[in-house]
Structure 1
Amino acid sequence: MRAQAKLLVLKLIKENQLDDIMVQVEQMKFRLTYIFLKLFSKNRILTSIYYLFSSEFKREQYSVINGKMVHFGDILNKRNNDYLLRRNIHRIEKGLLMRPRKDVFAARFINETMNSFDYLLDKNDSSISNTQLKWANDVLKEYFRVVGSHPSIDKEKKRYNELKIKNKINNSNKFIPYKRNLEKQMVITLEQLKELSIIRRSVRWFEDKPVPRQAIDYAIEIGLQAPSACNRQPFRYQIFDDPELVKKIAKIPSGTAGFYHNIPTLVAVIGDLTAYPFERDRHLIYIDSSLSIMPFLYGLEVQGLSSCPLNWPDIEKKEKELEKIIRTKKYERVIMFIAVGYPDEDAKVAFSRKKDIDEFRTFNLNVDEV
């Protein structure tokens, strides 16, 4: 039977019919898929039933619930949650700069903020930089100085004043809301910024030359100035520059076939879902990390380095393959990989014609026109 099937396939190949048959099979799969989608997309209940039998979002759900568990566990056990403290200190900052400023604000979350701050101060957690601790302290000090009386606030103000802070935090240069020097906005011209965006293109062929770690760090420092929801910055950069390890990892993402062996340095950007107590915020790891990645790429470019963002699709087989190597935590998600290196001067890049601005932009679109 197998021999007959093999002969049939060989005959079809000779007659150039196999491709036509495969196209017809694909079209039939598309039709069946469309029929199912049309049925289950009629309302949200049917959609939920459809995804009960689909594994497409299972890993995301697993990561989100583990992130929530860690987040709430930190609060209940009065442990430090870096993201909680960063979020709350930033919320207090926004209260300080409001116009007009409320006499009483942040009363609802000042207790959990002080719990986290107190824990950090007491444990001297090495994972938290002194500058972050200083930022939290400076904002809290200013907050308690200007905020009005309220039972919750008065209690935490007394607690703050009793903390032994003096020798633990540098008191120079207050890290509190300030007025920007707007003259500095014109250091880089609009033309220069646009030119940089045109020069930067995804490069797939690099020189056989190591990338200085200092150059990567400098570009990351630029990327970390990007905006982030409540300043949580729920991601990290993991750098791979061991040649064998880079080749092993670089062939896993989609779209690297043919050039993965040529990548000198590989950067993984990994999101952390312990930053959020609610599912509604689960997409922020993708949004905030992407906001950081673009200036990171520009930071590489101005140092003579080139890059190529690599697609990381949500495919369980690939996730498991990668998990064996880089051992991400249950609440972490890989956002993307970025190939980095010195560009091969003789190699070409794709023209990648971008869409015209009119295809992207509208002003004050009426609801009826959507």
Structure 2
Amino acid sequence: MIGKLKSIAKTALANPAIRKTYNAANRGVLEVAASTRVGATAYSLLGFATHNREQWAVLSGRRAYYRNLTTHRANHVELRRNVHRLEKGILMQPRRAVFARDYIEETVEFYAHALERPHTVSNIDAGEMQWAYDVLSEYFSIVTDDDPGVARSRVRFESLPAYSSSADVRPYPQGTLARTDITFDQMLQLAESRRSIRWFQDKPVPRELVDQALLVARQSPSACNRLPYEFLVFDEPEQVKVVSGIPFGAAGYGHQIPTIVVVKGDLSNYFSPRDRHVPYIDSSLATMGFIYALETLGLSSSIINWPDFEPLEAKMAKTLGLAPHERVIMLIAVGYADPDALVAYSKKKEIDNIRTYNSLG
């Protein structure tokens, strides 16, 4: 039904007179609606269905965030956030004698909660707990007890059993960072050789290569180290067919995709609507690293656009069993490129068209 309606719309807009009328009507409405915030509010009320899924996702995510404060999980986003905030305070120049007054008590409680109800041991869980313990230990070694909350937090932390392994994962000097030997020319070559590939060989994608690429993806910057995303990988042919058949962007070539990845953002990582765009940003940063890594492993990919279109959102949510606060960011087709198939040249903009210096409003 959706495909049929889309076909009818495309046929109608192919008529120059209809397209001209359509464009003029849109411009007229938007000239009024976009002129003031009052006009935008009125327009949003009329176009309620267009934005409502994101509003629902944000509220559902905030609800899940507060529910999760008393629930044990493999990783604890509120603990991750606060520990990273402590890291930033520790490395500040000049460092304050006392900092994190407003959140140190809850951070220790988050840590205690995670420690007292241990999850099935996994590398991710153990690593997170070690990181939290080491950073909290460093914090209490450098701050004074001038603040009553800090003093209470120190007593509480020292009453907990030590969490220790061979690793030490607290902040460390920038000068000890291992620098890469990759040159600019090599990086540029990788970027220029990566193309959006839509035609693949009939050859399975090894899962170990996908996981290797994800090691690169997870190193991407993430606001407060939350990593608010998940890569849902499908490589069973029937499931690939179902998932790749949902987005409009895979029409015509989805039938021969060997592996398809759905990048999912999770709004339950946030207590405030101010952060509602962060999952889109962080997952996009991770995706870029992921597809560059795929290239180095001999695999090709293409990003499949996922517009916020209610009928497809509802279908994808049902197919994947997504909670309201879990949002699809994009899809990625992955496979071995068919050497005999064509690839788009896709001329890029000139640097002067994407960059300005010191251009205040």
Alignment TM-score, normalising by the size of structure 2 = 0.91
**Cα gap change, 1:79 to 1:49, in 2 (>3 Å):** farther
How far residue 313 of structure 1 moved from its aligned partner, in angstroms, is 0.6
How far residue 366 of structure 1 moved from its aligned partner, in angstroms, is 4.1
The residue aligned with 2:200 is: 206
The residue aligned with 1:22 is: 15
**Secondary structure class of the residue paired with 1:338:** strand
Of residues 135, 146, 152 in structure 2, which corresponds to 1:139?
135
**Cα gap change, 1:21 to 1:305, in 2 (>3 Å):** closer
Contact 1:78 1:115 in 2 (8 A): no
Of residues 21, 32, 36 in structure 1, which corresponds to 2:29?
36
Identity, in percent, stands at 41
How far residue 30 of structure 1 moved from its aligned partner, in angstroms, is 2.1
The residue aligned with 1:308 is: 302
**Secondary structure class of the residue paired with 1:246:** helix
How far residue 26 of structure 1 moved from its aligned partner, in angstroms, is 2.7
Pair 1:284 & 2:278 matched: yes
Q: Which moved more, 1:172-181 or 1:97-106?
A: 172-181
The residue aligned with 1:64 is: 58
Of residues 234, 238, 251 in structure 1, which corresponds to 2:228?
234
Alignment of 1:228-267 (within 5 A): 228-267=222-261
RMSD of equivalent CA atoms = 1.9
**Cα gap change, 1:341 to 1:94, in 2 (>3 Å):** same
How far residue 324 of structure 1 moved from its aligned partner, in angstroms, is 2.1
Pair 1:164 & 2:183 matched: no
The residue aligned with 2:218 is: 224
**Cα gap change, 1:190 to 1:184, in 2 (>3 Å):** farther
The residue aligned with 2:350 is: 356
In 2, Cα distance between the equivalents of 1:21 and 1:244?
35
Alignment TM-score, normalising by the size of structure 1 = 0.89
**Secondary structure class of the residue paired with 1:57:** helix
Pair 1:82 & 2:76 matched: yes
**Secondary structure class of the residue paired with 1:308:** strand
How far residue 221 of structure 1 moved from its aligned partner, in angstroms, is 0.7
How far residue 181 of structure 1 moved from its aligned partner, in angstroms, is 4.9
In 1, Cα distance between the equivalents of 2:13 and 2:67?
57
Q: Which runs of 5+ in 1 are unaligned?
A: 1-17
Contact 2:229 2:264 in 1 (8 A): yes
How far residue 129 of structure 1 moved from its aligned partner, in angstroms, is 1.4
How far residue 314 of structure 1 moved from its aligned partner, in angstroms, is 0.4
**Secondary structure class of the residue paired with 2:248:** coil
How far residue 82 of structure 1 moved from its aligned partner, in angstroms, is 1.8
In 1, Cα distance between the equivalents of 2:45 and 2:98?
47
Q: How many residues align?
A: 346
In structure 1, give the amino acid aligned to 2:160.
L
Bigger CA radius of gyration = 1
In 2, Cα distance between the equivalents of 1:286 and 1:122?
33
The residue aligned with 1:270 is: 264
Contact 1:254 1:313 in 2 (8 A): no
**Secondary structure class of the residue paired with 1:185:** coil
Pair 1:321 & 2:323 matched: no
**Secondary structure class of the residue paired with 1:361:** coil
In 2, Cα distance between the equivalents of 1:233 and 1:186?
23
Pair 1:73 & 2:70 matched: no
In 2, Cα distance between the equivalents of 1:90 and 1:182?
20
In 2, Cα distance between the equivalents of 1:238 and 1:123?
28
In 1, Cα distance between the equivalents of 2:154 and 2:164?
20
